[in-house]
Amino acid sequence: MRIRVAVHNVRGFRDDRSALEELHRSIDADVLLLNETGPRSKLRRFARTLDYRVAHDARSFPRRRAKDAVLARAPWRIAEHRQQRFSGSAPLYPRAALFARLELEGGGSTWWAVSMHLGLRPTERIAHAEQVLGSIRGLRSPVVLGGDLNELPDGAAVARLTRWLHDAWAVAGEGPAETFPARDPSARIDYVLVSQGFSVEGASVPRDPMVARSSDHRPVVVDLELRDA
């Protein structure tokens, strides 16, 4: 079954929201993995506008939020979700992964979508990559992990993740791969990684001018084929 997944750091919906909505209408993804999702009200409004169901972090007061989300639309529904907060994060900038188990409406196929945003310090990124891998290894269904990893492809955290997961861009990327900064991209720091159970049919980074108005990151768009169990 073909599934389109897009990962995007939306910078708290602080940029041109109309451009962001139009961008994602044109991408037409089945599932969105979002980072820096800002206030929950803005996230929910974005999801309603584009007809997605949304899984986001639970209330964590007095701790600061880690703002990642998974959005899905028919024929996929969010069967369950949870957040894994990483130990060793800077208190003012907590990091986490948002896990959502997706099921095909009417039963049948199921898989996990994971949205993750890694930190700016290399040692922190490595530790958090190991923590999320520990959780992924315990899952019984195929996994797609996406997010702003704040690291180039030759980084140590990316290397750890890609020992267990396939970098979709490395498999089937087309065109320029850089995602940051959006106006004149020079660094590939946003990724979609997939487990066994998926084949990668294509990967791209949109280059339309409206992309630069939507956020400081460009999204990564990947077409996957979910194989039969």
The pLDDT, as a whole number, for residue 61 is 79
Stronger pLDDT, 14 or 64, i.e. the higher one: 14
- Are the CB atoms for 198 and 226 separated by under 8 Å? yes
Strand, coil or helix: what is 36? coil
Instruction: Give residue 92's pLDDT band: very low, low, confident or very high (50, 70, 90).
Output: confident
Dihedral over alpha carbons 3, 167, 217, 27 (to 10 degrees): -20
Number of domains making up the chain: 1
What percentage of the chain carries pLDDT values higher than 70? 99
Mean of pLDDT over the chain? 95
SS3 of residue 12 by DSSP: helix
- Using alpha carbons only, give the angle 18, 190, 58 rounded to the nearest 5 degrees: 70
If you average pLDDT over residues 70-99, what whole number do you get?
94
Query: pLDDT at position 121, please?
Result: 95
**Does the pLDDT of residue 159 top 50, yes or no?**
yes
- Domain of 77, in residue numbers: 2-226
pLDDT score, position 183: 95
Confidence (pLDDT) at 216: 97
Which residues are CB-neighbours of 228 under 8 A, at least 6 positions away? none
CATH number for the domain that contains residue 89: 3.60.10.10
- DSSP string over 205-226: ----TTHHHH-SS--EEEEEEE
Q: What are 184's two structure tokens?
A: 């004149």
Under DSSP, the state recorded for 13 is: G
* Sign of the dihedral through C-alpha 162, 204, 184, 21: negative
Confidence of residue 228 (pLDDT cuts 50, 70, 90): low
Q: Using an 8 Å Cβ cutoff, are 97 and 114 in contact?
A: yes
What mean pLDDT do residues 50-78 have? 93
229 pLDDT exceeds 50? Answer: no
Query: Is there a contact between 95 and 60 (Cβ–Cβ < 8 Å)?
Result: no
Find the mean pLDDT for residues 52-65. Answer: 88
| Span 136-156, average pLDDT | 97
User: Structure tokens of 117?
Assistant: 């945003």
Judged against a pLDDT cut of 90, whether residue 220 lies above it is answered with: yes
Which own/partner contact pairs does 138-142 have at CB distance under 8 Å and 24+ positions apart? Answer: 139/112, 141/101, 141/110, 141/111, 141/112, 141/197, 142/111, 142/112, 142/194, 142/195, 142/196, 142/197, 142/198, 142/226, 142/227
